[in-house]
C-alpha cells in the first residue's frame, strides 16, 4: 500500500484540507466503515469500475456513482469496498470548504453522495482523464489545484459568522455552545442556523456533536489503552451512558468494539476514521 497527502497552496488551503492519493487495496478485509467528520469530499477512482457506497446498516444495499463522486458532509458512517481502493485520488474539504465549488447549498447533499458529473458536468471526466495522464503524483496535485480554481462558482469565502462558528466549534466542540457563538456574532438563532447549514451541510448542533466524536477518536488514537471515563469527561460527556450512545450513533460500534477492530489496521495506515469489517 502507498498513500500520499498534499496541502494545497493558499487560498485553496483555507477550503481544502488536503489532496490525497492512495494505491494498493488493503488486505484481510473487503469492506471498511468510514466515520463521519462533518466535511465533504471528492473521490476519483482511477480504475475502471464504478464507485460503490454501501448502506452501513445493511451491506446488501449499495449505490453506484461512476468513477467520480462528490460526498456531502456526514453525521453518520458509510461503507466502501476496499477492492476499489487500488488506485484512488481524493479532495478532502474543510468544514464548509466545498461551498464555493458547488452550485447547491451544502445542506442538499448532507449524508448523501452524488456522481460528480451531475454537479461539475463534463469537467468531472476531464479532470479524471488529466489525473490518469499525469506523469507523477506531484503533477496530480497540481491538476487538482487548477481544477478547483476553475470550478469556483461562488466567491472564495464563507459568511463571516459561519467561518467564526466553524472555527470555534472545531477547536472546542465540547465546551463551545451555540448560544455563546450567537452572542458573539449578533445574528438570530434562525438566521445563523440556516446560514451554517447551507454552507457546511450540518446544523450547528450536529456539527458540534460530530466534532466532539472526532475528538474522542483522536483521544483513543493517542492513548492506545483508553481510559473511557477520562475520555468521556475530557470530551464533555456528562455520563458514560451519554458517551456510549453518541459513539454508537456516529460509528455503529461500541467504544471497545471500535478499538478491537481498528487498532491493528490503524497501525498499518494511521487513519482513525477507517474501520475494517
Percent of the chain with pLDDT over 70: 97
In this prediction, residue 27 carries a pLDDT of 72
Q: Is the peptide bond before 190 cis (omega within 30 degrees of 0)?
A: no
- Whether the per-residue pLDDT at 218 is higher than 60: the answer is yes
- DSSP secondary structure code for residue 187 in this structure: -
Percent of the chain with pLDDT over 90: 77
- DSSP secondary structure code for residue 70 in this structure: E
If you average pLDDT over residues 72-101, what whole number do you get?
93
What mean pLDDT value characterizes the chain? 92
In this prediction, residue 221 carries a pLDDT of 83
* Tens digit of each residue's pLDDT (9 = 90 or more) over 161-212: 999 999 999 898 888 889 999 999 999 999 999 999 999 999 999 999 999 9
CA atoms within 13 A on the CB side of 154: 16
Q: How far apart are CA 2 and CA 167, in angstroms?
A: 32
In this prediction, residue 83 carries a pLDDT of 78
* Tens digit of each residue's pLDDT (9 = 90 or more) over 105-115: 999 999 999 99
The structural domains of the chain, ordered by start, are 2-150 (2.60.120), 160-276 (1.10.10.60)
Burial of 37 (0-12, 13-18, 19+ CB in 10 A): buried
Picking from 167, 188, 170, 191, the residue whose alpha carbon sits closest to that of residue 179 is 188
Beta strands in 26-161 (DSSP E): 31-34, 41-45, 52-55, 58-64, 68-71, 78-81, 87-93, 113-115
- Whether the per-residue pLDDT at 96 is higher than 70: the answer is yes
Picking from 38, 107, 93, 11, the residue whose alpha carbon sits closest to that of residue 250 is 38
Sequence-distant (6+) residues with CB within 8 A of 133 are none
Cα 233 to chain centroid, rounded: 25
- Whether the per-residue pLDDT at 98 is higher than 80: the answer is yes
In this prediction, residue 79 carries a pLDDT of 96
First to last CA, the chain: 18
- Whether the per-residue pLDDT at 264 is higher than 70: the answer is no
Amino acid at each position: 500500500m502507498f498513500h500520499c497527502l498534499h496541502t494545497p497552496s493558499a487560498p485553496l488551503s483555507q477550503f481544502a484540507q488536503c489532496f490525497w492519493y492512495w494505491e494498493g487495496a488493503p488486505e484481510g478485509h473487503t469492506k471498511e466503515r468510514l466515520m463521519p467528520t462533518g466535511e465533504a469530499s471528492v473521490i476519483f477512482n482511477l480504475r475502471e469500475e464504478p464507485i460503490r457506497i454501501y448502506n452501513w446498516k445493511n451491506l446488501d444495499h449499495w449505490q453506484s456513482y461512476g468513477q467520480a463522486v462528490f460526498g456531502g458532509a456526514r453525521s453518520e458512517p458509510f461503507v466502501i469496498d476496499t477492492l476499489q481502493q487500488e488506485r484512488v485520488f481524493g479532495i478532502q474539504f474543510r468544514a464548509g470548504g466545498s461551498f464555493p465549488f458547488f452550485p447547491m447549498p451544502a445542506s442538499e447533499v448532507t449524508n448523501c453522495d452524488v456522481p460528480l458529473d451531475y454537479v461539475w458536468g463534463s469537467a468531472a471526466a476531464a479532470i479524471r482523464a488529466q489525473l490518469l495522464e499525469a506523469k507523477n503524483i506531484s503533477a496530480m496535485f497540481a491538476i487538482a489545484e487548477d481544477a478547483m480554481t476553475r470550478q469556483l462558482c461562488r466567491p472564495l469565502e464563507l459568511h463571516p459568522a459561519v467561518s467564526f462558528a466553524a472555527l470555534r466549534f472545531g477547536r472546542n466542540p465540547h465546551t463551545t455552545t451555540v448560544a455563546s457563538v450567537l452572542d458573539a456574532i449578533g445574528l438570530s438563532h434562525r438566521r445563523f442556523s440556516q446560514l451554517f447549514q447551507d454552507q457546511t451541510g450540518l446544523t450547528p448542533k450536529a456539527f458540534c456533536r460530530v466534532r466532539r466524536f472526532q475528538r474522542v477518536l483522536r483521544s483513543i488514537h493517542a492513548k492506545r489503552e483508553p481510559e473511557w471515563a477520562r475520555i468521556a469527561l475530557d470530551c464533555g460527556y456528562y455520563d458514560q451512558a451519554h458517551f456510549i450512545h453518541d459513539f454508537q450513533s456516529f460509528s455503529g460500534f461500541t467504544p471497545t468494539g471500535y478499538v478491537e477492530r481498528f487498532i491493528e489496521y490503524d497501525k498499518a495506515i494511521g487513519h482513525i476514521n477507517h474501520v475494517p469489517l
